[in-house]
Amino acid sequence: MRRFILLSVLMSLLLISCGGEDAFAGKAYRLRAEQGLKEIRNALVGYKINSGRFPKEENWTKELMPYFKKERSPEPKWVTKNKMLVMSAKNNICQVKGIMKELKRKIYYADTTLQSQIMEFLGPIDSALTLAEYEVAEARRYDYRDIGNELKGLYDFTSNLKISEEKGKILKRMETQNEELSEEVEELKYEMLGEDSTLNKAVENATKVINGVIEESLLSAQGKETSLPESLGVHSDVIEELTLRLNPKKDTLLIKNLRSFDEKLTYYAQGKDNIEFLYYLNDLKKKLPASMSLFSSYYDKDRETVTEANKTLNGYGALQNLRSLVHFYADQNDSMPKGNLYVVFQEDEDMKEIRKFLSSDPYIYIENNGYRLEANALDEKQMPLVLKVEFINNYDEIVKQSFTSGPFYYTDDSGSTFFVVVKAGDKHHTIITKRPKLKEVK
Protein backbone atom coordinates (compact mmCIF):
# COMPACT_ATOMS: atom_id res chain seq x y z
CA MET A 1 0.00 0.00 0.00
CA ARG A 2 2.82 2.36 0.95
CA ARG A 3 4.56 1.73 -2.38
CA PHE A 4 1.30 2.39 -4.25
CA ILE A 5 0.84 5.76 -2.52
CA LEU A 6 4.45 6.69 -3.20
CA LEU A 7 4.14 5.79 -6.90
CA SER A 8 0.89 7.75 -7.12
CA VAL A 9 2.58 10.87 -5.74
CA LEU A 10 5.46 10.51 -8.17
CA MET A 11 3.11 10.06 -11.11
CA SER A 12 1.11 13.13 -10.12
CA LEU A 13 4.31 15.16 -9.95
CA LEU A 14 5.25 13.97 -13.42
CA LEU A 15 2.00 15.33 -14.94
CA ILE A 16 3.40 18.79 -15.48
CA SER A 17 3.07 21.55 -18.03
CA CYS A 18 5.67 21.93 -20.76
CA GLY A 19 6.80 25.11 -22.48
CA GLY A 20 9.76 27.04 -23.74
CA GLU A 21 12.32 28.18 -21.22
CA ASP A 22 15.86 29.45 -21.36
CA ALA A 23 18.24 26.56 -20.64
CA PHE A 24 20.32 28.54 -18.18
CA ALA A 25 17.25 29.77 -16.28
CA GLY A 26 15.91 26.24 -16.04
CA LYS A 27 19.23 24.97 -14.75
CA ALA A 28 19.32 27.75 -12.15
CA TYR A 29 15.86 26.74 -10.85
CA ARG A 30 16.94 23.10 -10.59
CA LEU A 31 20.17 23.97 -8.82
CA ARG A 32 18.25 26.10 -6.32
CA ALA A 33 15.87 23.21 -5.64
CA GLU A 34 18.79 20.81 -5.18
CA GLN A 35 20.46 23.20 -2.75
CA GLY A 36 17.24 23.63 -0.76
CA LEU A 37 16.73 19.88 -0.66
CA LYS A 38 20.33 19.43 0.46
CA GLU A 39 19.68 21.70 3.45
CA ILE A 40 16.64 19.61 4.38
CA ARG A 41 18.67 16.42 4.09
CA ASN A 42 21.41 17.89 6.31
CA ALA A 43 18.78 18.79 8.90
CA LEU A 44 17.44 15.21 8.78
CA VAL A 45 20.95 13.83 9.27
CA GLY A 46 21.51 16.22 12.19
CA TYR A 47 18.23 15.07 13.73
CA LYS A 48 19.28 11.42 13.45
CA ILE A 49 22.65 12.12 15.06
CA ASN A 50 20.90 13.63 18.08
CA SER A 51 17.86 11.33 18.23
CA GLY A 52 19.20 8.04 16.89
CA ARG A 53 16.58 7.96 14.14
CA PHE A 54 15.00 10.08 11.43
CA PRO A 55 11.70 11.83 12.27
CA LYS A 56 8.46 9.99 11.61
CA GLU A 57 6.18 11.18 8.85
CA GLU A 58 3.66 12.70 11.24
CA ASN A 59 4.72 16.23 12.24
CA TRP A 60 8.18 15.73 10.68
CA THR A 61 8.55 19.41 9.82
CA LYS A 62 7.74 20.43 13.40
CA GLU A 63 10.36 18.05 14.76
CA LEU A 64 12.89 19.33 12.26
CA MET A 65 12.32 23.06 12.88
CA PRO A 66 15.10 23.54 15.49
CA TYR A 67 17.62 22.42 12.86
CA PHE A 68 16.79 25.40 10.69
CA LYS A 69 17.43 27.93 13.43
CA LYS A 70 19.91 30.62 12.39
CA GLU A 71 21.38 33.64 14.07
CA ARG A 72 21.25 37.15 12.67
CA SER A 73 23.37 39.95 14.05
CA PRO A 74 22.92 43.21 12.10
CA GLU A 75 26.03 45.39 12.21
CA PRO A 76 25.42 48.78 13.90
CA LYS A 77 25.98 51.88 11.77
CA TRP A 78 28.78 53.10 14.03
CA VAL A 79 30.75 49.91 13.31
CA THR A 80 30.60 50.55 9.57
CA LYS A 81 31.55 54.19 10.09
CA ASN A 82 34.55 53.32 12.25
CA LYS A 83 35.65 50.58 9.85
CA MET A 84 35.67 53.12 7.02
CA LEU A 85 37.70 55.54 9.14
CA VAL A 86 40.31 52.91 10.01
CA MET A 87 40.42 51.60 6.45
CA SER A 88 41.03 55.10 5.12
CA ALA A 89 43.96 55.54 7.52
CA LYS A 90 45.38 52.15 6.54
CA ASN A 91 45.15 53.07 2.88
CA ASN A 92 46.90 56.40 3.45
CA ILE A 93 49.80 54.80 5.31
CA CYS A 94 49.93 51.93 2.82
CA GLN A 95 50.18 54.27 -0.16
CA VAL A 96 53.06 56.24 1.36
CA LYS A 97 54.77 53.03 2.45
CA GLY A 98 54.39 51.60 -1.06
CA ILE A 99 56.13 54.62 -2.60
CA MET A 100 58.97 54.37 -0.07
CA LYS A 101 59.21 50.60 -0.54
CA GLU A 102 59.76 51.14 -4.25
CA LEU A 103 62.48 53.70 -3.45
CA LYS A 104 64.18 51.21 -1.10
CA ARG A 105 64.19 48.63 -3.87
CA LYS A 106 65.48 51.02 -6.53
CA ILE A 107 68.14 52.74 -4.43
CA TYR A 108 70.52 49.81 -4.82
CA TYR A 109 70.89 50.88 -8.45
CA ALA A 110 71.90 54.41 -7.50
CA ASP A 111 75.40 55.80 -7.47
CA THR A 112 76.98 55.37 -4.01
CA THR A 113 77.09 59.13 -3.39
CA LEU A 114 73.42 59.48 -4.29
CA GLN A 115 72.57 56.45 -2.14
CA SER A 116 74.05 57.98 1.01
CA GLN A 117 72.32 61.33 0.39
CA ILE A 118 68.88 59.72 -0.05
CA MET A 119 69.32 57.32 2.87
CA GLU A 120 69.55 60.31 5.21
CA PHE A 121 65.90 60.97 4.38
CA LEU A 122 64.74 57.39 3.85
CA GLY A 123 65.90 55.93 7.18
CA PRO A 124 63.63 58.03 9.46
CA ILE A 125 60.76 57.86 6.94
CA ASP A 126 60.83 54.06 6.77
CA SER A 127 60.98 53.69 10.56
CA ALA A 128 58.04 56.06 11.17
CA LEU A 129 55.86 54.42 8.49
CA THR A 130 56.45 50.96 9.98
CA LEU A 131 55.36 52.18 13.43
CA ALA A 132 52.36 54.04 11.96
CA GLU A 133 51.29 50.83 10.22
CA TYR A 134 51.53 48.89 13.52
CA GLU A 135 49.63 51.68 15.26
CA VAL A 136 46.67 51.53 12.90
CA ALA A 137 46.56 47.72 12.94
CA GLU A 138 46.88 47.30 16.71
CA ALA A 139 44.96 50.36 18.02
CA ARG A 140 48.01 51.11 20.14
CA ARG A 141 49.98 54.36 20.21
CA TYR A 142 53.63 54.12 19.15
CA ASP A 143 56.28 56.76 19.73
CA TYR A 144 57.54 58.15 16.44
CA ARG A 145 58.03 61.64 15.10
CA ASP A 146 56.38 63.51 12.27
CA ILE A 147 58.31 62.76 9.07
CA GLY A 148 56.89 65.72 7.20
CA ASN A 149 60.31 67.41 7.19
CA GLU A 150 62.01 64.31 5.76
CA LEU A 151 59.38 63.91 3.04
CA LYS A 152 59.67 67.61 2.21
CA GLY A 153 63.48 67.32 2.25
CA LEU A 154 63.36 64.34 -0.13
CA TYR A 155 61.03 66.26 -2.42
CA ASP A 156 63.32 69.31 -2.44
CA PHE A 157 66.35 67.11 -3.06
CA THR A 158 64.79 65.38 -6.07
CA SER A 159 63.43 68.67 -7.38
CA ASN A 160 66.83 70.37 -7.25
CA LEU A 161 68.67 67.41 -8.76
CA LYS A 162 69.79 68.20 -12.30
CA ILE A 163 69.34 64.91 -14.11
CA SER A 164 71.29 65.82 -17.24
CA GLU A 165 74.28 67.00 -15.21
CA GLU A 166 74.24 63.89 -13.01
CA LYS A 167 74.02 61.69 -16.09
CA GLY A 168 76.99 63.53 -17.60
CA LYS A 169 79.05 62.90 -14.44
CA ILE A 170 78.29 59.17 -14.59
CA LEU A 171 79.24 58.92 -18.27
CA LYS A 172 82.47 60.86 -17.70
CA ARG A 173 83.34 58.59 -14.80
CA MET A 174 82.67 55.53 -16.94
CA GLU A 175 84.85 56.82 -19.77
CA THR A 176 87.75 57.16 -17.36
CA GLN A 177 87.05 53.76 -15.85
CA ASN A 178 86.81 52.27 -19.33
CA GLU A 179 90.44 53.13 -20.09
CA GLU A 180 91.68 52.06 -16.65
CA LEU A 181 89.89 48.71 -16.74
CA SER A 182 91.07 47.97 -20.30
CA GLU A 183 94.67 48.49 -19.23
CA GLU A 184 94.25 46.48 -16.03
CA VAL A 185 92.73 43.47 -17.78
CA GLU A 186 95.72 43.31 -20.12
CA GLU A 187 98.10 43.43 -17.15
CA LEU A 188 96.23 40.61 -15.42
CA LYS A 189 96.24 38.60 -18.64
CA TYR A 190 100.01 38.98 -18.95
CA GLU A 191 100.50 37.82 -15.34
CA MET A 192 98.37 34.69 -15.78
CA LEU A 193 99.58 33.42 -19.16
CA GLY A 194 102.21 30.73 -18.86
CA GLU A 195 103.01 27.12 -19.71
CA ASP A 196 99.64 25.67 -18.62
CA SER A 197 97.68 25.46 -21.89
CA THR A 198 94.38 24.79 -20.11
CA LEU A 199 94.84 27.89 -17.96
CA ASN A 200 95.92 29.92 -20.99
CA LYS A 201 92.72 28.94 -22.81
CA ALA A 202 90.61 29.97 -19.80
CA VAL A 203 92.51 33.30 -19.60
CA GLU A 204 91.89 34.06 -23.27
CA ASN A 205 88.17 33.26 -22.91
CA ALA A 206 87.85 35.36 -19.77
CA THR A 207 89.67 38.28 -21.39
CA LYS A 208 87.30 38.19 -24.35
CA VAL A 209 84.22 38.21 -22.09
CA ILE A 210 85.61 40.97 -19.84
CA ASN A 211 86.61 43.22 -22.75
CA GLY A 212 83.10 42.78 -24.13
CA VAL A 213 81.58 43.90 -20.83
CA ILE A 214 83.95 46.89 -20.62
CA GLU A 215 83.14 48.07 -24.14
CA GLU A 216 79.42 47.43 -24.21
CA SER A 217 78.62 48.69 -20.70
CA LEU A 218 79.66 52.18 -21.79
CA LEU A 219 77.67 51.93 -25.01
CA SER A 220 74.62 50.79 -23.06
CA ALA A 221 74.93 53.71 -20.61
CA GLN A 222 75.15 56.07 -23.59
CA GLY A 223 71.84 54.69 -24.83
CA LYS A 224 73.32 52.83 -27.79
CA GLU A 225 72.39 49.35 -28.92
CA THR A 226 74.58 46.54 -27.59
CA SER A 227 74.64 42.76 -27.34
CA LEU A 228 75.40 42.97 -23.63
CA PRO A 229 73.68 40.16 -21.65
CA GLU A 230 70.95 41.24 -19.27
CA SER A 231 72.93 39.67 -16.41
CA LEU A 232 76.05 41.76 -15.92
CA GLY A 233 77.31 39.09 -13.53
CA VAL A 234 78.69 37.15 -16.50
CA HIS A 235 82.15 38.68 -15.93
CA SER A 236 82.12 37.58 -12.30
CA ASP A 237 81.56 33.98 -13.41
CA VAL A 238 84.62 33.88 -15.67
CA ILE A 239 86.79 35.66 -13.09
CA GLU A 240 85.72 33.17 -10.42
CA GLU A 241 86.57 30.34 -12.80
CA LEU A 242 90.09 31.76 -13.18
CA THR A 243 90.63 32.06 -9.41
CA LEU A 244 89.66 28.43 -8.96
CA ARG A 245 92.36 27.39 -11.45
CA LEU A 246 95.08 29.29 -9.59
CA ASN A 247 97.12 27.95 -6.68
CA PRO A 248 95.73 29.55 -3.49
CA LYS A 249 99.16 29.44 -1.82
CA LYS A 250 101.42 30.56 -4.65
CA ASP A 251 99.02 32.93 -6.39
CA THR A 252 97.54 34.69 -3.34
CA LEU A 253 98.30 38.21 -4.61
CA LEU A 254 97.03 37.44 -8.11
CA ILE A 255 93.76 36.03 -6.72
CA LYS A 256 93.36 39.16 -4.58
CA ASN A 257 93.93 41.39 -7.63
CA LEU A 258 91.39 39.42 -9.68
CA ARG A 259 88.71 39.84 -7.02
CA SER A 260 89.49 43.53 -6.66
CA PHE A 261 89.19 43.88 -10.43
CA ASP A 262 85.84 42.05 -10.33
CA GLU A 263 84.49 44.64 -7.84
CA LYS A 264 85.71 47.55 -9.98
CA LEU A 265 84.18 46.05 -13.12
CA THR A 266 80.86 45.41 -11.35
CA TYR A 267 80.73 49.04 -10.17
CA TYR A 268 81.57 50.22 -13.69
CA ALA A 269 78.96 47.98 -15.36
CA GLN A 270 76.25 49.39 -13.10
CA GLY A 271 76.58 52.79 -14.77
CA LYS A 272 73.47 52.17 -16.87
CA ASP A 273 71.52 51.34 -13.70
CA ASN A 274 72.81 54.55 -12.09
CA ILE A 275 71.40 56.54 -15.01
CA GLU A 276 68.05 54.71 -14.96
CA PHE A 277 67.77 55.51 -11.24
CA LEU A 278 68.08 59.21 -12.08
CA TYR A 279 65.05 58.93 -14.37
CA TYR A 280 63.18 57.05 -11.63
CA LEU A 281 63.82 60.00 -9.29
CA ASN A 282 61.99 62.19 -11.79
CA ASP A 283 58.90 59.98 -11.37
CA LEU A 284 59.34 59.85 -7.59
CA LYS A 285 59.34 63.65 -7.45
CA LYS A 286 55.79 63.65 -8.86
CA LYS A 287 54.53 61.23 -6.18
CA LEU A 288 56.07 62.89 -3.13
CA PRO A 289 53.56 65.78 -2.73
CA ALA A 290 50.72 63.24 -2.42
CA SER A 291 52.81 61.25 0.11
CA MET A 292 53.36 64.38 2.20
CA SER A 293 49.64 65.15 2.16
CA LEU A 294 48.57 61.57 3.04
CA PHE A 295 50.95 61.23 5.97
CA SER A 296 50.14 64.71 7.27
CA SER A 297 46.42 63.91 7.10
CA TYR A 298 46.91 60.89 9.31
CA TYR A 299 49.53 62.22 11.74
CA ASP A 300 48.08 65.71 12.31
CA LYS A 301 44.33 65.07 11.95
CA ASP A 302 43.23 61.44 12.19
CA ARG A 303 45.75 59.69 14.41
CA GLU A 304 43.90 60.04 17.72
CA THR A 305 40.47 59.44 16.17
CA VAL A 306 41.62 56.32 14.33
CA THR A 307 43.21 54.82 17.45
CA GLU A 308 40.03 55.35 19.47
CA ALA A 309 37.84 54.01 16.65
CA ASN A 310 40.03 50.93 16.41
CA LYS A 311 39.65 50.25 20.13
CA THR A 312 35.86 50.26 19.81
CA LEU A 313 36.06 47.92 16.81
CA ASN A 314 38.35 45.56 18.71
CA GLY A 315 35.86 45.52 21.56
CA TYR A 316 32.96 44.78 19.23
CA GLY A 317 35.03 42.05 17.57
CA ALA A 318 35.67 40.55 21.02
CA LEU A 319 31.89 40.29 21.57
CA GLN A 320 31.57 38.61 18.17
CA ASN A 321 34.18 36.05 19.25
CA LEU A 322 32.31 35.57 22.53
CA ARG A 323 29.34 34.16 20.60
CA SER A 324 31.23 30.90 20.02
CA LEU A 325 31.57 30.38 23.78
CA VAL A 326 27.84 31.07 24.19
CA HIS A 327 27.05 28.49 21.49
CA PHE A 328 29.27 25.91 23.15
CA TYR A 329 27.64 26.48 26.52
CA ALA A 330 24.12 26.21 25.04
CA ASP A 331 25.00 22.96 23.25
CA GLN A 332 26.50 21.43 26.36
CA ASN A 333 23.83 22.52 28.84
CA ASP A 334 20.65 22.83 26.71
CA SER A 335 20.28 26.34 28.09
CA MET A 336 21.83 29.76 27.66
CA PRO A 337 24.45 31.12 30.09
CA LYS A 338 23.37 33.99 32.31
CA GLY A 339 24.84 37.16 33.75
CA ASN A 340 28.57 37.90 33.86
CA LEU A 341 30.17 35.80 31.12
CA TYR A 342 33.68 36.44 32.40
CA VAL A 343 32.71 34.59 35.57
CA VAL A 344 31.08 31.78 33.55
CA PHE A 345 34.09 31.29 31.27
CA GLN A 346 36.93 32.65 33.40
CA GLU A 347 38.96 29.44 33.06
CA ASP A 348 38.69 29.44 29.28
CA GLU A 349 41.78 30.76 27.43
CA ASP A 350 39.56 32.29 24.72
CA MET A 351 37.75 34.35 27.32
CA LYS A 352 41.06 35.63 28.72
CA GLU A 353 41.99 36.81 25.23
CA ILE A 354 38.54 38.37 24.67
CA ARG A 355 38.73 40.24 27.98
CA LYS A 356 41.93 42.03 26.87
CA PHE A 357 39.91 44.12 24.40
CA LEU A 358 37.24 45.22 26.89
CA SER A 359 37.28 47.66 29.80
CA SER A 360 34.52 45.77 31.64
CA ASP A 361 33.27 42.22 32.05
CA PRO A 362 30.84 41.14 29.29
CA TYR A 363 27.24 40.37 30.27
CA ILE A 364 24.54 38.42 28.46
CA TYR A 365 20.85 39.35 28.49
CA ILE A 366 18.27 36.86 27.21
CA GLU A 367 15.47 38.24 25.02
CA ASN A 368 12.34 36.68 23.52
CA ASN A 369 13.88 36.10 20.10
CA GLY A 370 17.57 35.95 20.95
CA TYR A 371 20.05 37.60 23.28
CA ARG A 372 22.39 40.55 23.53
CA LEU A 373 25.95 40.89 24.75
CA GLU A 374 27.08 44.07 26.50
CA ALA A 375 30.45 45.42 27.63
CA ASN A 376 32.54 48.58 27.41
CA ALA A 377 35.34 49.29 24.93
CA LEU A 378 38.90 50.28 25.81
CA ASP A 379 38.68 53.72 24.24
CA GLU A 380 39.02 56.85 26.35
CA LYS A 381 35.23 57.22 26.74
CA GLN A 382 34.77 53.47 27.41
CA MET A 383 32.04 53.32 24.81
CA PRO A 384 29.14 50.95 25.68
CA LEU A 385 29.10 48.03 23.25
CA VAL A 386 25.92 46.12 22.43
CA LEU A 387 25.85 43.05 20.18
CA LYS A 388 22.28 41.93 19.44
CA VAL A 389 21.74 38.38 18.22
CA GLU A 390 18.32 37.43 16.82
CA PHE A 391 17.12 33.86 16.33
CA ILE A 392 15.39 33.24 13.01
CA ASN A 393 14.10 30.09 11.31
CA ASN A 394 14.74 29.91 7.58
CA TYR A 395 12.73 26.75 6.77
CA ASP A 396 9.79 28.62 5.23
CA GLU A 397 12.19 30.81 3.25
CA ILE A 398 14.02 27.74 1.87
CA VAL A 399 10.74 26.13 0.78
CA LYS A 400 9.33 29.31 -0.75
CA GLN A 401 12.47 30.15 -2.72
CA SER A 402 13.46 26.64 -3.77
CA PHE A 403 10.36 24.59 -4.64
CA THR A 404 7.02 24.92 -6.43
CA SER A 405 5.72 21.84 -4.63
CA GLY A 406 6.85 19.85 -1.60
CA PRO A 407 8.78 18.79 0.23
CA PHE A 408 7.06 15.41 0.59
CA TYR A 409 8.67 13.19 3.20
CA TYR A 410 8.39 9.39 3.51
CA THR A 411 10.09 6.78 5.67
CA ASP A 412 9.49 3.03 5.85
CA ASP A 413 12.02 2.68 8.65
CA SER A 414 12.85 5.88 10.57
CA GLY A 415 15.85 4.12 12.07
CA SER A 416 17.66 3.88 8.76
CA THR A 417 16.10 5.63 5.78
CA PHE A 418 13.93 8.40 4.37
CA PHE A 419 12.77 9.69 1.00
CA VAL A 420 12.10 13.37 0.18
CA VAL A 421 10.50 14.59 -3.07
CA VAL A 422 10.15 18.15 -4.37
CA LYS A 423 9.38 19.96 -7.62
CA ALA A 424 11.77 22.61 -8.95
CA GLY A 425 10.65 26.01 -10.21
CA ASP A 426 11.54 25.45 -13.87
CA LYS A 427 8.89 25.21 -16.59
CA HIS A 428 8.92 21.43 -16.45
CA HIS A 429 8.68 21.38 -12.64
CA THR A 430 11.46 18.82 -12.56
CA ILE A 431 11.19 16.21 -9.79
CA ILE A 432 14.18 16.09 -7.45
CA THR A 433 14.63 13.54 -4.69
CA LYS A 434 16.98 12.88 -1.79
CA ARG A 435 17.81 9.80 0.22
CA PRO A 436 20.38 9.24 2.95
CA LYS A 437 23.91 8.59 1.81
CA LEU A 438 24.80 4.90 1.46
CA LYS A 439 26.77 4.69 4.67
CA GLU A 440 23.83 6.24 6.55
CA VAL A 441 21.46 3.62 5.13
CA LYS A 442 23.82 0.90 6.34
SS3 (DSSP) at 426: coil
Q: What angle do CA 372, 374, 379 make, to 5 degrees?
A: 145
CB 24 within 8 A of CB 436: no
Each of the 442 residues of the chain gets a pLDDT tens digit; together they read 555 455 555 555 444 444 445 678 888 888 998 888 888 888 888 888 888 899 988 888 888 888 888 888 888 999 999 999 999 999 999 999 999 999 999 999 998 899 999 999 999 999 999 999 999 988 888 999 899 999 999 999 999 999 999 999 999 999 999 999 999 999 998 888 888 888 889 889 889 999 989 998 999 888 888 775 554 568 888 899 889 888 888 889 999 999 999 999 999 999 999 999 999 999 999 999 999 999 999 999 999 999 999 999 999 999 999 999 998 998 888 889 999 999 999 999 999 999 999 999 999 999 888 999 999 999 999 999 999 999 888 888 888 888 888 899 998 888 888 889 999 888 888 998 888 875 444 3
**Half-sphere exposure at residue 393, Cβ-oriented, CA atoms within 13 angstroms:** 13
> Beta strands of 307-425 (E only): which ranges?
339-340, 363-367, 370-376, 384-393, 405-410, 419-423
SS3 (DSSP) at 164: helix
